[in-house]
Amino acid sequence: MSSDPVRRGRLAGGRPAEVAAFLSSMDADRWIADADIRVDIAHLLMLDQQEIIERDASSAVMAALLGMYEHGVPETVFDDEYEDVHAGIEACLIAASGMDKGGRLHMGRSRNDEVATCIRIRLREELLAHMAGLSSLRAALLEQAERHTETVMPGFTHLQHAQPTTLGHYLLAYEQALSRDFERLWDGYGRVNRSPLGAAAFASTGYPIDREMTAGLLGFPELVLNTMDAVSARDFVIETTAACTILMSTLSRMAEEIVLWSSAFVRFVTLDDAYCSTSSIMPQKKNPDTAEIMRGKSGVVAGSFTAAFTAVKGLPMSYNRDLQDVTPSLWRAVSESGACIGIAAGIISTATFHPDRMREEAGRGFSTATELADVLVREFGLPFRAAHNIIGRAIRSSVIDLAVLEAAAQELSGISLVERGLTGERISDALDVDVSVRMRSAPGGPAPETVAEAIAIQHAALEDDRIWVRSEEGRLQAAEDEMIREARRLVDE
Ligand code: ARG
């Protein structure tokens, strides 16, 4: 007879090991084993309060559950003979308190609502850890930005030198993108944070259960109300893996630039040795491997999203076993993206940027030509398009000086810039990279004081985000502590 408490009634005992392994979710269930104990405790407190279970049974089972809560689930619950951790834990409880008591815990619920609740509980923790990690990464970017408000560098479009900017401005661009990645996780968290418990198989139960009570004990402010939706919904998995994929697109872009910038061609940054590897044959090599792996991981995370989406999209209501295979994609997405967040924070906070090299490149390729066009517009009355054409024509000769500009103005517009008062000195002033950057002080622009103001605003936003994460962690911990106190009271009474 099977020792899996779920199988041994309906199904005949033996099955080939490969079938057991094929059906098993045990590897991924390690993620939710601790959460399952908390779900059991909440469910049992509710059964007890609603007088669905007798006190001697609830107190014996609770004592066994508290043992697992305090000392961790025993390794035996992961044994191959069980199909999943829920069966393993139930078998362990029955072994500890006898069938007559331990066999009563599963009244009014199913593994379907149980597993959905476990996943949401564990995912909440993972999302909060992601948000805390993202906050540290954002702080690292802001700190470097603070050091480099005055560091002039080239900005690129089409990866061609475009206009001068500041390193502070550039770093803030990534911080802003990451603050949206934070926001996406935060927003999704609200939908993860709802309790499916009490939905049972899908049709709820005839026992007089109290769904609000178990939700409250487990720190869920809301229910996933419709019980059919509660067991079958995995949109929160699709949403989380999508948010992680989008986050990885930000990190992967950053990684790509770190690889590029640390190349000898560019040499804008030197990474700390801790984040680099060397070659087994070329002794001189220092390679930005952490950034490369980060760029690569974006594919793994995107794959998790695709796997989850594809598995879910064709499923009829309500629970289907396919859903078991969606969960590992979720854990893969959160663990890989979580690791990348931490590595990125380390790379950024220990990186040494090279302002001298950035300045060297800042003015290359007539990158200040836009500012000169603006000067011709503001001070010499030209329409912008005429100024744009004149300077563009002048640049064909690879120099910009008074003579070349004057010739281009005569040729294209039939006007004399010299007569209008343009001087060689005014031209070289306008082409100065510092002037160009300082002029660009519109909100969100690269001018040093504008960047300094933006840093202050982002610091405040980051602080609010950090406060939210800490308070949510505190709220969850308080709910858990309160539930455990109630569980101990039940045993002690
Ligand atoms: N291990 C299963 C999962 O992860 C638990 C639910 C099993 N439910 C069922 N009816 N077989 O989805």
Q: For residues 247 and 289, state if they share a domain.
A: yes
Does the pLDDT of residue 100 top 90, yes or no? yes
Model confidence pLDDT, tens digit, residues 201-218: 999 999 999 999 999 999
Question: Does pTM surpass 0.85?
Answer: yes
Ligand 1 in reach of 323 Cβ (< 6 A): yes
Q: Which of 112, 123, 315 to mutate to test the pocket of ligand 1 (most atoms within 8 A of CB)?
A: 112
Q: 78 and 212, same structural domain?
A: no
Give the model's pLDDT for residue 1: 57
Q: Is the CB of 165 under 6 A from ligand 1?
A: no
Residue 298 tokens read as 């974006």
Q: Is the CB of 324 under 6 A from ligand 1?
A: yes
10 lines ligand 1 (CB under 6 A): no
Question: Is residue 60 lining ligand 1, measured as CB closer than 6 Å?
Answer: no
| pLDDT (tens digit per residue) in 129-139 | 999 999 999 99
348, 272: one domain: yes
Q: Is 449 a domain residue?
A: no
Confirm whether 278 is domain-assigned.
yes
The residue from 393, 414, 431 where one domain ends is: 431
**Which domain-ending residue is among 71, 86, 107?**
107
Nearest CA to ligand 1 atom 12: 324
- Determine, yes or no, domain membership for 407: yes
Our count of domains for the chain comes to: 3
Of 279, 397, 416, 471, the catalytic one is 279
Contact 4 CB / ligand 1 (< 6 Å): no
Please indicate, yes or no, whether residues 43 and 139 belong to a single structural domain of this protein: no
Q: Are residues 116 and 88 in the same domain?
A: no
- Can 158 be counted among the known catalytic residues? yes
- Indicate whether 97 and 123 sit together in one domain: no
Q: What percent of the chain has pLDDT over 90?
A: 96
321 C-beta closer than 6 A to ligand 1: yes
How far is ligand 1, taken at its centre, from the CA of residue 113, in Å? 9
- Domain extent, residue 287, equals 112-151+165-357+458-477
What is the CATH classification number for the domain harbouring 54? 1.10.275.10
Residue 363 domain flag: no
Give the model's pLDDT for residue 23. 94
In a domain, 243, yes or no: yes
Which of 106, 110, 111 to mutate for ligand 1's pocket (most ligand atoms within 8 Å of CB)? 111
pLDDT at 178 over 60: yes
287 & 420 share domain: no
pLDDT band at residue 225 under the 50/70/90 scheme? very high
Q: Is residue 314 part of a domain?
A: yes
Q: Which atom of ligand 1 is nearest to the CA of 111?
A: 6
Helix/strand/coil for 352: strand
Predicted local confidence at residue 260, as pLDDT: 98
Q: What is the CATH number of the domain that holds 181?
A: 1.20.200.10
pLDDT digits (tens, 9 = 90+) for 1-47: 577 888 888 888 788 999 999 999 999 999 999 999 999 999 999 99
Q: Give a yes or no: residue 229 inside a domain.
A: yes
Looking at the structure, tell me whether residues 192 and 329 fall in a common domain. Answer: yes
**Ligand 1: centre distance to CA 23 (Å):** 10
Residue whose CA is at the smallest distance from ligand 1 atom 2 = 324
Query: From the CA of 141, how far away is ligand 1's center (Å)?
Result: 43
Does a structural domain hold residue 157?
no
Which of helix, strand or coil describes residue 165?
A: strand
Pick the last residue of a domain from 431, 450, 466: 431
Nearest CA to ligand 1 atom 3: 324
Cα 78 to middle of ligand 1, angstroms: 15
Across 178-187, 229-238, 279-288, least confident range: 279-288
Give the position, in ligand 1's atom list, of the atom nearest the Cα of 319.
10
Residue 279 among the catalytic residues = yes
Q: Is 25 in the pocket of ligand 1 (CB under 6 A)?
A: yes
Q: Residue 175: pLDDT above 90? A: yes
Tokens (6 digits) for 141: 């970017």
Report whether pLDDT(392) > 80. Answer: yes
Q: Is the CB of 115 under 6 A from ligand 1?
A: yes
Same-domain check for residues 301 and 392: no
Looking at the fold, whether 231 and 116 belong to one and the same domain comes out as yes
| Residue 294 shares a structural domain with residue 414 | no
Q: Which atom, in ligand 1's list, is nearest to the CA of 84?
A: 1
pLDDT at residue 351 above 70? yes
Q: Average pLDDT, whole number, for the chain?
A: 97
Same domain, 195 and 304: yes
